[in-house]
Amino acid sequence: MPIEQPPLPFAMDALEPYGMKAETFEYHYGKHHKAYVDNLNKAIESDSSLAGKSLEEIIVATFGDSAKAGVFNNAAQVWNHTFFWNSLKPGGGGAPTGDLAAKIDASFGSYDKFREAFANAAATQFGSGWAWLIDDNGTLKVTKTPNAENPLAHGQKALLTLDVWEHAYYIDFRNARPAFIQNFLDKLVNWDFVAENLAAA
């Protein structure tokens, strides 16, 4: 079975009141994400060792293998983007509540300290990459990865991500990555998705 591109969890224009235009998703989801899916399926067709494997299994099996770097990059980017779309919701952002808020306070000292750490990771990832909130053996941590790399490849549990490749924000924020990061934290974080990931960790 080919790897499929899941539908966006919201309409293409649903985030327009919250700083992200439909045009962003027409390109980012409709072209970039789709290209990763198409390229991965072509790779699977030509490599029988990948046939029948899940997306997650392909990521783990190909990470660090220089001969399969292209497969890893496309597989990880398919997974990363799907995870990113679910990290967004209209009217999200702000501080979380409940068990998740308590876990963030326990791990970082406060929501504000988490926010500072996450924003710093996203802003200081040189070039293309991702900022993540992860569960690392029961402790929440902020990390960042270059290019297509993700926590899954490192045996870590991802809870939240922000895409800091330029194509993620250039239509809406031009070259102002810090403004994109603040808008994400203020208006877009899907804390329900994060809480679900934490509960399943």
Annotated binding site for Mn(2+): 28, 81, 163, 167
What ranges make up the beta strands (E) of 110-176?
129-136, 139-146, 157-163
Phi, psi of 190 (to 5 degrees): -90, 85
- Measuring CA to CA, which residue among 6, 70, 7, 82 is closest to residue 40? 70
* Torsion on CA atoms 97, 100, 101, 103, rounded to nearest 10: 160
Alpha helices in 13-169 (DSSP H): 22-27, 34-46, 55-62, 69-86, 98-108, 111-124
d(CA 59, CA 56): 5
* Side chain identity at residue 128, one-letter code: S
Annotated binding site: 28, 81, 163, 167
Q: Which residue has 């290209």 as its token pair?
A: 35
- Measuring CA to CA, which residue among 113, 96, 77 is closest to residue 159? 96
